[in-house]
Amino acid sequence: MQFKGRDIVSIKDFSREEIDYILKTAASMEQIAKQGSDMLHGKILATLFFEPSTRTRLSFESAMNKLGGTAIGFAEPKVAAIKKGENLADTIRVVENYADVMVLRHPLEGAARLAAEFAKVPVINAGSGAEEHPTQALLDLYTILKEKGTIDGLNITLMGDLRYGRTVHSLAYALSLYNVKLFLVSPELLRMRREVSDAIKQKITVVEASAVEDVLAETDVLYVTRIQEERFPDPTEYTKVSGTYKIDLKTLKDAKEDMIIMHPLPRVDEIDHEVDNTPHARYFQQVWNGIVTRTALLALILGAKK
Amino acid sequence: MQFKGRDIVSIKDFSREEIDYILKTAASMEQIAKQGSDMLHGKILATLFFEPSTRTRLSFESAMNKLGGTAIGFAEPKVAAIKKGENLADTIRVVENYADVMVLRHPLEGAARLAAEFAKVPVINAGSGAEEHPTQALLDLYTILKEKGTIDGLNITLMGDLRYGRTVHSLAYALSLYNVKLFLVSPELLRMRREVSDAIKQKITVVEASAVEDVLAETDVLYVTRIQEERFPDPTEYTKVSGTYKIDLKTLKDAKEDMIIMHPLPRVDEIDHEVDNTPHARYFQQVWNGIVTRTALLALILGAKK
Amino acid sequence: MQFKGRDIVSIKDFSREEIDYILKTAASMEQIAKQGSDMLHGKILATLFFEPSTRTRLSFESAMNKLGGTAIGFAEPKVAAIKKGENLADTIRVVENYADVMVLRHPLEGAARLAAEFAKVPVINAGSGAEEHPTQALLDLYTILKEKGTIDGLNITLMGDLRYGRTVHSLAYALSLYNVKLFLVSPELLRMRREVSDAIKQKITVVEASAVEDVLAETDVLYVTRIQEERFPDPTEYTKVSGTYKIDLKTLKDAKEDMIIMHPLPRVDEIDHEVDNTPHARYFQQVWNGIVTRTALLALILGAKK
């Protein structure tokens, strides 16, 4: 398998075999992520955030530093050259001279693909439009594999905003490469986009439900996402819905003992804080797994040797 | 004494013996701070500034770089995840995965304490509310010790805004562990908060005065702070006061020859620029001492060996 | 020649002999800029951008990282201490304690000179007012030399906004040290400032023209700059002018085969994208040459040994 020099734009660009290899590499990086290393000494990561995302940006910078490399970049469009009217292709052809790899977040769908086409160095998509967030999907898979020992054979529930959340789109595509049963739980207005659900239904069993209680007893992994008020034309509609799509101790009374709860964070109140101390909670472990997965990706696409 | 893994939230958490040990360690770091070192190679500092403070942030980042470590973080709340409504405890439980130590500045009192309770890694308080700024107090003590050879036996005057300045609160507590005489010089409206002055009066002699001229001839260390216009309901009141609490060559004519003048910076016009070239001025040396003290603190709480 | 400890404030501070030495050093740094080095391990660069400029800031940070050093700083005045009313001299006397060299961009002419006078460490001017941008001039010279093998004997055309562009002022001064013929092509309103054109006319042949077509056939190097709408009191005037001062394939039909086109970037539409793929385009190579030139400057003023 060839990873050196490769872009990470969409999870759809990767075969199951390749994803398995990335997950295996991640597992082998746990110690390195803990202790630090000089694997990427002298290498530079550029973080280009045309849309703010502190946690994703810091996660990549931390991963790069843990491998002995350095990071430069910008955290906000306002500071960026684009203010002067420069187009993205020009920005990319400038920044590729500064760095060995670049991480891009952009409000427009297709931005990461365009950047990858122009850049001489590998481009990692850290979220473009409502479309894709492939490294989040990979760290989610890594978390499931690490916690359950397998992905195949699991019943996985995606709950919340399945329409606008780029995280769940990338994750759903990735899960469709495995032998899983997928429950989709969301309000009517925030159902999984048709193009995503059509594509994954050709590969795996997908069951749509409107209440988490209907599927919880069967669920091995419950993946919760935030429902944003601004998605609703009517605030009272939002209040009704957000009260329903909420996990607390009462919701969990029928859950399997070893069911795990994941969340891409930040959460607001869709998971009650009393759940944090139950053996189900894994959302903060996901953050660490993100560091591990990103060290693996950086090492692979920069061709680092241990 | 145990420093490894320890939080630095309040100067009140440290005994005189511990503070003396920190100051001794700082003295031993002068050369390292000048020449650089790899003591913290592979370690990562996260700077979480929910309130901007360029100089404090850069001071910590410089100290970390001088020890061979790296720094990641954010400089402004606007960029931070908290914008999406996440609470501080969640932010801390995310960031602790990215870094080996974190430095926090926050507008709310108690924020640093809360962060320290949640974080698995040590937390350094770089200012929370109007309450505390312990590393500034430590660098101030280090400056006094370095310049005067001792802290015990000195007459120290704190002047300016003693009510809202977190710097002077932490410093007053720290000085009360030593055998000093403290003069407090401030306008009526900006007197030292009762809870602070009550606490320190139990340990040391404290004399309140309204004019610096009354105490200057006895003073060994004159610590000046800025009086901010926004503290005064009436602008004419501010103008009157700020003209009075100002140090210039004329004020200094009765000063001891070896009196030193300190200031946490930035200054506006409370110290006239003509004072910069007198042998009294030490406020720019304080900045360097801040680097030295912070390298010592980072080395101690991360358990670094030279 | 003595470079260690030297400020880089104005291109006018350097003799031709010194500039040639910088360009020669840059040529010797090409490999190091590609592969990375530890020449400046342990050294810290402070980037003080009182005016945003993502590309210049990242270029310096990348250059510093490529030499094994680290960078700290701020990208926006809003975040900076100056907000609290501190003057620049105080800021400089603070930051000089954090870093071994500082890079300053400031909206006011003279700011870099003032900073250099106060700072104990070397100051590099990354643009002050409409006046000077010396490192851009050096990378432009390096690009010409690398591409044409010589600077002497060339016909060089500067086109666009010659009045407000700090880049062209520094470049024109630098070119006047060489044996070149200079064509200046600009709208009436944006003619080269009198003090610059008077100075360079004493040294080299300068021809002012209002249409690039009049000089293109003779031109070896065509240096294009952006014309900004806000320079024109009347928007229709701008539209007329910006349509004229534009390079596309049609403009280029009379160009020498080996003529090169340069641009300090960002471009908006003054060079048509169809020109990017012609053998004339060198504006993206300039970005790389900027990294190389800045590694050379950092190495020289910090006295690094290979």
Is the CB of A98 inside 8 Å of chain C's CB atoms?
yes
CA dist., res. A237 & res. B278, Å (int): 69
Q: Which residue has tokens 């995302």? A: A53
Given a contact cutoff of 8 angstroms between Cβ atoms, the answer to whether C222 and C159 are in contact is: yes
CA dist., res. A286 & res. A137, Å (int): 11
Given a contact cutoff of 8 angstroms between Cβ atoms, the answer to whether A5 and A303 are in contact is: yes
User: pLDDT tens, B217-245?
Assistant: 999 999 999 988 877 888 888 888 877 88
CA dist., res. C50 & res. C36, Å (int): 29
Residue A306's CB is within 10 A of a number of other CB atoms, namely 8
**Three-state DSSP class for A11?**
helix
The length of chain A is 306
CA dist., res. C74 & res. B71, Å (int): 14
Mean of all residue pLDDT scores within chain B: 93
Residue C128's pLDDT is: 86
Q: Give CA angle at B75 (B69, B76), nearest 5°.
A: 160
C133 is catalytic: yes
CA dist., res. C283 & res. C268, Å (int): 13
Mean pLDDT (whole number) for B123-150: 94
DSSP secondary structure string, A103-119?
EEEESSTTHHHHHHHH-
Residue type, A16: R
Residue A141's pLDDT is: 98
Starting at the edge strand found earlier in the chain, the sheet holding B260-262 runs B205-209, B181-185, B155-159, B221-224, B260-262
Given a contact cutoff of 8 angstroms between Cβ atoms, the answer to whether A13 and A128 are in contact is: no
User: pLDDT tens, A164-185?
Assistant: 888 999 999 999 999 999 999 9
How big is the B-C interface in CB pairs under 8 Å?
Answer: 65
* Percentage of residues of chain B with pLDDT beyond 90: 81
Which of the following CATH numbers is that of domain A134-287: 3.40.50.11540, 3.40.50.300, 3.40.50.1370, 3.30.300.30? Answer: 3.40.50.1370
Band of the pLDDT at A306, cuts 50, 70, 90?
Answer: low
Residue type, C293: T
CA dist., res. C142 & res. C156, Å (int): 14
Phi and psi at residue B206, to the nearest 5°: -125, 130
CA dist., res. A162 & res. A176, Å (int): 15
* Cross-chain Cβ contact B70/A70 below 8 Å: yes
Q: Where are the domains of chain C?
A: 11-130+289-301, 134-287
Collect all residues of chain C within an 8 Å Cβ-Cβ radius of residue B76: 79
Residue C202's CB is within 10 A of a number of other CB atoms, namely 8
User: pLDDT tens, C32-84?
Assistant: 999 999 999 999 999 999 988 899 999 999 999 999 999 999 987 665 545 45
A84 is catalytic: yes
Beta-bridge partner residues of A103: A47, A124
Q: Which residue has tokens 């300090």? A: C264
Starting at the edge strand found earlier in the chain, the sheet holding C101-106 runs C70-74, C44-49, C101-106, C123-128
Phi and psi at residue B88, to the nearest 5°: -60, -40
**Is the pLDDT score of B85 beyond 80?**
no
A40, closest residue in chain C (CA to CA): C36
CA dist., res. B154 & res. B220, Å (int): 6
Mean pLDDT (whole number) for A253-280: 95
Q: Which two tokens stand for residue A44?
A: 């530079």
Q: Which chains touch A (3 or more CB pairs under 8 A)?
A: B, C
Nearest CA to C287 out of A117, A69, A81, A112 is that of A81
Given a contact cutoff of 8 angstroms between Cβ atoms, the answer to whether C116 and C123 are in contact is: yes
Q: Which two tokens stand for residue C231?
A: 């320079």
Phi and psi at residue C211, to the nearest 5°: -130, 135
Q: Which of B43, B133, B146, B169 is catalytic?
A: B133
Collect all residues of chain B within an 8 Å Cβ-Cβ radius of residue C74: 54, 58, 75
Residue C129 DSSP one-character state:
T
Given a contact cutoff of 8 angstroms between Cβ atoms, the answer to whether A64 and A298 are in contact is: yes
* CA-based nearest distance B189→chain A, Å: 40
Omega within 30 of 0 (cis) for the link into A264: no
* CA-based nearest distance B154→chain C, Å: 27
Given a contact cutoff of 8 angstroms between Cβ atoms, the answer to whether B158 and B136 are in contact is: no
Out of C78, C93, C98, closest to residue B58 by CB: C98
Best C43, C94, C95, C114 member to test B by mutation, with max B CBs in 10 Å, is C94
Residue A16 DSSP one-character state:
H
Given a contact cutoff of 8 angstroms between Cβ atoms, the answer to whether A181 and A204 are in contact is: yes
Contacts with A13 (C-beta within 8 Å, 6 or more apart), sequence order: A7
How far apart, in Å, do the first and last CA atoms of chain A sit? 17
CA dist., res. B245 & res. B210, Å (int): 9
CA dist., res. B305 & res. B39, Å (int): 6
ipTM: 0.94
Q: Which residue has tokens 């031109």? A: C219
Beta-bridge partner residues of B290: none
Residue B242's pLDDT is: 78
Q: Give CA angle at C96 (C94, C99), nearest 5°.
A: 120
Residue B165's pLDDT is: 83
Q: What is the pTM of this model?
A: 0.95
**Three-state DSSP class for B282?**
coil
* Cross-chain Cβ contact B97/A288 below 8 Å: yes
Q: Which of C47, C56, C219, C293 is catalytic?
A: C56
User: pLDDT tens, B26-44?
Assistant: 999 999 999 999 999 999 9
Q: Which residue has tokens 């402070």? A: C46
* Percentage of residues of chain A with pLDDT beyond 70: 96
**Is the pLDDT score of A82 beyond 80?**
no
Omega within 30 of 0 (cis) for the link into B52: no
CA dist., res. B73 & res. B98, Å (int): 10
Identical fold, C11-130+289-301 and C134-287: yes
Residue C81's pLDDT is: 47
Print pLDDT tens along chain C (306 aa).
Answer: 889 999 999 999 999 999 999 999 999 999 999 999 999 999 999 999 998 889 999 999 999 999 999 999 998 766 554 545 568 999 999 999 999 999 999 988 899 999 999 999 999 999 988 778 999 999 999 999 999 999 999 999 999 999 988 899 999 999 999 999 999 999 988 999 999 999 999 999 999 998 999 999 999 999 999 988 877 888 888 888 877 889 999 999 999 999 999 999 999 889 999 999 999 999 999 999 999 999 999 999 999 976
Q: Which two tokens stand for residue A122?
A: 């590998």
Which of the following CATH numbers is that of domain A11-130+289-301: 3.30.420.40, 3.40.50.300, 3.90.79.10, 3.40.50.1370? Answer: 3.40.50.1370
* Cross-chain Cβ contact B284/C43 below 8 Å: no
Residue C301's pLDDT is: 98
Given a contact cutoff of 8 angstroms between Cβ atoms, the answer to whether B159 and B223 are in contact is: yes
Residue B195's pLDDT is: 92
Nearest CA to C122 out of C99, C146, C101, C147 is that of C101
Q: Which of C43, C105, C169, C282 is catalytic?
A: C105
User: pLDDT tens, B160-170?
Assistant: 999 988 899 99
Q: Which residue has tokens 């090169």? A: C260
Collect all residues of chain A within an 8 Å Cβ-Cβ radius of residue C265: 86, 90, 94
Residue B249's pLDDT is: 96
Q: Which residue has tokens 């500092």? A: B45
- A205-209 and A221-224: which strand pairing? unpaired
Contacts with B112 (C-beta within 8 Å, 6 or more apart), sequence order: B9, B104, B106, B123, B125, B128, B132
Given a contact cutoff of 8 angstroms between Cβ atoms, the answer to whether C79 and C72 are in contact is: no
Q: Which two tokens stand for residue C30?
A: 């090409």
**Is the pLDDT score of B79 beyond 80?**
no
Residue B135's pLDDT is: 97
Phi and psi at residue C103, to the nearest 5°: -110, 130
